[in-house]
Amino acid sequence: MAPSRSHHFSTHLMRRMRRGAMLAAALMTCGLASASNPIVPGWYADPEIRVFAGRYWIYPTYSDHAGKPDVTPRFSAAQKKARQRKTVRPSYGMQTFFNAFSSPDLVHWTKHEHVFDVRNADWAAYAIWAPSVIAANGRYYMFFSANDIQSDAELGGIGLAVSDRPGGPFKDAIGRPLIDAFHNGAQPIDPFAFRDRDGQVYLFYGGWKHCNVVRLSADLKRIVPFADGTTYKEVTPPGYVEGSFMIERGGTYYLMWSEGGWTGPDYSVAYATAPSPIGPFKPMGKILSQDLRIARGAGHHSVVNVPGTDDWYIAYHRRPLDTDRGEHRQIAIDRMRFAADGSIEPVVMTNEGVTPRPIGAATPRRR
């Protein structure tokens, strides 16, 4: 007897289901996360999110070992000597590289290992933090913090590395730190590269409760004066601690930063607005803080605007409720929305995360 039409349909359906199951298993095997927070496994912090060549990229700080230690395989003689210095926390010695993650849709992430490593910057030895990557001149430039300097007498500060690809490898671009000293009281850490509408690139940076902004040359390798002749312009808003970040929307500039202590539950994000990238800034309050139903210590964020839309997403780190270890931080992504008056609405942290958002696709159903 010939098989019935229903038998053919059932067989076809079973094959499709098996193929779907195999695809899901393959995605899990590749380490691609489902739509949930945290977005990737492991302890990571200070995520910067960008769009390069039609993909989302996240560049975070390696915060702590999770499972098998991830390490730099070798150090130069100069780096070995530098690593003998006493650090504020033992974890700073682990932080000698950056892994990156890329995604077509904010949900499925691919890991890119050691896109930058101190092997490619001989003066940098530890405390490699908070990268900021920008495309310019047909290449990709990474600003990064190194060595957690405590005074101008120490070697370290903000460095610059360059690569032909967003996935690296990034290599030292100038052979020394770009900013190697304290100006206006700002520790040279936590850089963020911001390109204004006229093409000028500014670098915001600073720890120890001070925030500076500088203008960069066209090749991004030099600091150039502002029109008034100054070079290091302080723009510290009230409550500022570290982690400066900026966006522009509709002619308004939004300077954001982290407040509180990075190891504690009071870590949070606030912002101010201005008519220009250098101010004057009007404080607008907090937009991200702990939620004892979800996580603590939410801060050091970045924001991405989906190209061609007014849709915005915030990437940030947070600490799970079941740990008090400062380095135990995870990356999350949630929606960031603006009110009708242009102010930023408080960010709602979620465990569910965001729905897939391919670049160039229509706006998905909002959560």
Task: Return the closest-CA partner of residue 326 out of 318, 334, 337, 338.
Answer: 318
**Residue 239, Ramachandran bin (φ over 0: left; ψ between -120 and 50: alpha; else beta):** left
Sheet arrangement for strand 110-117: 43-52, 55-64, 97-103, 110-117
Secondary structure (3-state) at 118: helix
* Spatial separation of the C-alpha atoms in residues 318 and 10, rounded to whole Å: 47
Catalytic residue (choose from 172, 242, 259, 327): 242
* 113 is an active site residue: no
Structure letter (DSSP) for residue 170: B
User: Residue 312: beta bridge partners?
Assistant: 305, 336
If DSSP states are collapsed to H, E and C, what string results for 12-76?
HHHHHHHHHHHHHHHHHHCCCCCCCCCCCCCEEEEEEEEEECCEEEEEEEEEECCCCCCCCCCCC
* 46 is an active site residue: yes
User: Residue 97: beta bridge partners?
Assistant: 117
* Spatial separation of the C-alpha atoms in residues 92 and 207, rounded to whole Å: 16
Q: Which residues are catalytic?
A: 46, 242
